[in-house]
Amino acid sequence: MLSFQDFLRESLSTPYSWQWDESAIRRTERDVVKVVTHREAYFETPDPLMEFHVEFTKGISWWATFAPTRESLDDVSGSWHKDVYEVLGTGNAFRVFATVIDIMKAFVQLEHPDSIRFVGGGGEKITKTGKQLPSSRDRLYQRFAKYAGRALPGYTQEEEPMVGNSTYTLKRIGATDDAVTPRVTPNS
């Protein structure tokens, strides 16, 4: 039987297979160039079978979101769409996080962002005396953010703690602020 440390090491070093969703790339025209403002990747987990989407959206800084999705039929329009849903206790969180980090590494190679921000955690634990404590999910996201900061060469991790939903920033070493000049590609 694997020790927890061996399980963790193996999970974090074996991401699921994933791919970019080329149809989800959005660009904004600025003068004579197109600026990428959105990228999306996806992957599936086998047990339980779920599809995860990882999205990067450019505002003042890049924001990353990642969540499991499922397709459902809209009763009114009759069309299929993706719903985000919450998953707890599947036992594959570390491998999912390893995949998200693998996608973040590829994103950094494509866009060279000064920072990537994401919100993590959820829920809170309240003691009998009324004191708020981070939930196990908050602690899991703290670990993920620290690991991501170490896994992305040239980036450090910063946290804006808040019980229930902390904001994490992966900041490129040497970046001066979030208002950065986006990477551009020529119009074709």
Question: Which of the listed ranges 14-18, 46-50, 117-121, 142-146 does the model predict with the highest average pLDDT?
Answer: 14-18
Query: What pLDDT is attached to residue 83?
Result: 52
Question: Is it the case that residue 32 has pLDDT exceeding 70?
Answer: no
Question: Is it the case that residue 62 has pLDDT exceeding 70?
Answer: yes
Longest dimension (CA), the chain: 63
Tell me what the pLDDT averaged over the chain comes to: 76
* SS3 readout for the chain: CCCHHHHHHHHHHCCCCEEECHHHCEEEEECCEEEEEEEEEEEEEECCEEEEEEEEEECCCEEEEEEEEEEEECCCCCCEEEEECCCCCCCCHHHHHHHHHHHHHHHHHHHCCCEEEEEECCCEEECCCCCEEECHHHHHHHHHHHHHHHHCCCEEEEEECCCCCEEEEEEECCCCCCCCCCCEEECC
Average pLDDT score over residue span 42-50 = 83
Share of the chain above pLDDT 90, in %: 21
Asked if 119 and 166 count as a contact pair (C-beta separation under 8 A), the reply is yes
Measure CA of the first residue to CA of the last residue in the chain; give whole Å.
Answer: 56
Cross-strand bridge partners of residue 70? 83
Over residues 117-156, the pLDDT tens digits come to: 988 766 566 667 777 666 677 777 888 888 888 899 899 9
Question: Is it the case that residue 97 has pLDDT exceeding 70?
Answer: yes
Return the DSSP state at 182. Answer: P
Residues whose CB is less than 8 angstroms from the CB of residue 158 and which lie 6 or more positions away in sequence, other chains included: 168, 169, 171
pLDDT greater at residue 49 or residue 107: 107
Return the DSSP state at 16. Answer: P
The continuous run of DSSP H or E covering 108 comes out as helix 93-111
Question: Is it the case that residue 180 has pLDDT exceeding 50?
Answer: no
Q: Which range has the worst mean pLDDT, 27-36, 89-98, 144-153?
A: 27-36
Over residues 81-91, the pLDDT tens digits come to: 555 555 555 66
Distance CA 178, CA 60 (A): 6
Distance CA 144, CA 95 (A): 11
Question: Is it the case that residue 99 has pLDDT exceeding 90?
Answer: yes
Question: Is it the case that residue 187 has pLDDT exceeding 60?
Answer: no
